[in-house]
Amino acid sequence: MSIYFSDEGQHRAAHVVHYTRLTNTTRRSLTNSASNNEIVTCDFGSFDKKLSSSTLVFQGFIACWGNNAGAITMNLKVGGTYNGSLVTSGGVGSGYPIVHYQYTDVSYYKMMVISGSVTNATGTGSKNVLVGHRTANGNSDRPFNILNPNASDDTRIENSMGGSSLSIWEMNL
């Protein structure tokens, strides 16, 4: 049995192959991007990709503190690696930004939203997921000062409740 669309037939029903939730709770200062280099904003760790041709759907957030750049380029990478803070292998991104934030000049708790998909991450097995930032014009900047703020930033934040989270649905479409 097939489902027919105007331009193709689909022989298997679309379904979720695998779901995982990754977290990063480590508080750290963020490094400025310089000379158009991509810097790691948040490393979520790795997940086990089951199908080579699957679509990866992401929904999550990055916990932030402080204000810095009002405009900066952000993106999520699957399979990216880094050395210290500089992304050395970019991995595969979405081709369009799926990480966004609303800049305010108030230096308090903020959140970046992650929402989108990556369709061209081939291969199976352990895949690292990270979010990086860079300035398109080569200036030295960062989107915020502190990743995963805690009580050392403001005593109203409970240490055990901080962190960033990313849900990943691996879809067979």
- 78 CB neighbour count, 10 Å cutoff: 23
The answer on pLDDT for 1 being more than 50 is: no
Write the pLDDT tens digit of every residue in 141-170. Answer: 899 999 999 999 999 998 887 899 999 999
Strand order in the sheet with 73-78: 73-78, 125-134, 39-49, 86-89, 81-83
pLDDT band of residue 7 (cuts 50, 70, 90) is low
Write the pLDDT tens digit of every residue in 109-120. Answer: 899 999 999 998
In angstroms, the CA 141 to CA 88 distance is 19
Q: Which residue has the higher pLDDT, 76 or 84?
A: 76
Contact partners, residue 56, CB within 8 Å, separation at least 6: 49, 78, 117, 118, 119, 121, 168, 169, 170, 171
Report the pLDDT value the prediction gives residue 70, as an integer from 0 to 100: 79
Q: Hey, what amino acid is at 138?
A: G
In angstroms, the CA 138 to CA 68 distance is 16
Q: Where are the domains of the chain?
A: 16-172
pTM above 0.85, yes or no: yes
Choose which CATH entry (3.40.50, 2.60.40, 2.60.120, 1.10.1060) describes domain 16-172: 2.60.120
pLDDT band of residue 97 (cuts 50, 70, 90) is confident
